[in-house]
Amino acid sequence: MALNDHNSITQSDRKYGVLLINIGAPEDLSQHSIRSYLNLFLSDKRVIEINPILWKMVLNAFILPTRPKKSLAKYELIWKKNELSPLIKNSIELVNKLQKSLNQEFDNIMVHMAMNYSKPFVNDVIKEFQQQNISNIIILPLFPQYSATTVGASLDKVWQTLLRLRFQPEVASINYFHQHPSYIKALTQHIKNYWQQHGRSELLLLSYHGIPTQYVKKGDPYSQHCLETTQSAQQELGLDDNQITMCFQSRFGKLKWLQPNTQDLFKILPKKGVSSIDVISPSFVVDCLETLEELDISGRQQFIQAGGKVFNYIPCLNDNVLLIETLKNIIQSKL
């Protein structure tokens, strides 16, 4: 057999695999499942940049024995029993609609979902692509703004898998899309559509997932990407500076995190005379614990208890056709 007879691929034979990557979620509503998920998540050196020996002791001695119980109580508020977690469920719906939309124009693109810290794992999905003779893989982490803690961690999983493969596919990655015209259009049109149905509050909060400030000092572009998304959204929405605010949520541990903190603003804004707010989190494309519980439930309670009157949570794009078109445009640029 000639050398070029084996695994030779012409341009017309190319089959593309699109790998959408997200964080992941516990497999079920149990402390055991939550503990397993948290162990994987918080053991990633991209996520926690602390001396690994010291951090392992802290993780196993203080966090894993107590946090799963607290997290379970929060998950039970947003997660229906005998169903998948909201993040997994929303991701599956997104993948199915994106695949259906791509099928209208292409017959050689397959879309799969993978998670960094829960099933389906990245390495398993890439192996599945190989079994289906996928020659090109497009990696698309579902995080508009780049951070080593999210996109970097996702790409690590991909490269670690590829290092072990005998026959490696061609790979293209989309590391961020925080200012992609389609994404900004989708985000702002989604907000406008919400306002048309529910009215507009005094202040729009764009609440991004926070990271420690020392990560930014080391070169992480995340805070700059968040600022650029906010500025583009403000311009597209035609808002004055006093009508929109960028903030950061999900503070964890004792390190200094990006400011201003979302939860602090919920308590402070009513005292400053702001009685109505709209809240959306552009760092997530599908709803999850951090949006459904931390913002829509706990955040609402914090704001109302502080004296606020109206709290509107604007859902993530999820499987909205606006997001589908955005992802299609981004994917097509890599074909």
pLDDT of residue 2: 41
The answer to whether the bond into 260 is cis (omega within 30° of 0) is: yes
Q: Distance (Å, rounded) from C-alpha 301 to C-alpha 275?
A: 13
CA 234 vs. chain centroid, Å, equals 21
| pLDDT tens, residue by residue, 30-72 | 999 999 999 999 999 999 999 999 999 999 999 999 999 999 9
Q: Distance (Å, rounded) from C-alpha 326 to C-alpha 324?
A: 5
219 burial type by CB count under 10 A (0-12 exposed, 13-18 middle, 19+ buried): exposed
Is the per-residue pLDDT at 280 higher than 90? yes
Q: What is the mean pLDDT of residues 235-260?
A: 96
Q: Which two tokens stand for residue 193?
A: 């559509």
- Expressed in angstroms, the distance from the first to the final Cα of the chain is 31
Contact status, residue 27 vs residue 146, Cβ threshold 8 Å: no
Of how many residues is the chain composed?
335
The structural architecture, per CATH, of the domain 181-313 is: 3-Layer(aba) Sandwich (3.40)
Q: What is the mean pLDDT of residues 252-262?
A: 94
Quick one: which of 70, 63, 26 has its CA closest to 48?
A: 63
Q: Distance (Å, rounded) from C-alpha 108 to C-alpha 95?
A: 16
Q: Distance (Å, rounded) from C-alpha 252 to C-alpha 307?
A: 26
User: Which percentage of the chain shows pLDDT scores above 90?
Assistant: 93
Sign, CA torsion 294/296/302/306: positive
11 burial type by CB count under 10 A (0-12 exposed, 13-18 middle, 19+ buried): exposed
| pLDDT tens, residue by residue, 109-146 | 999 999 999 999 999 999 999 999 999 999 999 999 99
**Strand runs labelled E in 202-251:** 203-209, 244-249
pLDDT of residue 253: 85
Contact status, residue 290 vs residue 281, Cβ threshold 8 Å: yes
pLDDT of residue 14: 87
pLDDT of residue 12: 55
Give the three-class secondary structure for 273.
coil
Is the per-residue pLDDT at 4 higher than 80? no
Is the per-residue pLDDT at 152 higher than 80? yes
Is the per-residue pLDDT at 9 higher than 90? no
Q: What is the CATH number of domain 11-177+322-332?
A: 3.40.50.1400
**Count of helix runs (H) and strand runs (E) in the chain:** 13, 8
Mean pLDDT over all residues of the chain? 95
Burial track 183-214 (b if 16+ CB lie within 10 A, e otherwise): bbbbbbebbeebbeeeebbebbbbbbbbbbee
- Laid out side by side, the sheet with 310-313 consists of 244-249, 203-209, 276-280, 310-313
> In the chain, where does the domain assigned CATH 3.40.50.1400 lie?
11-177+322-332, 181-313
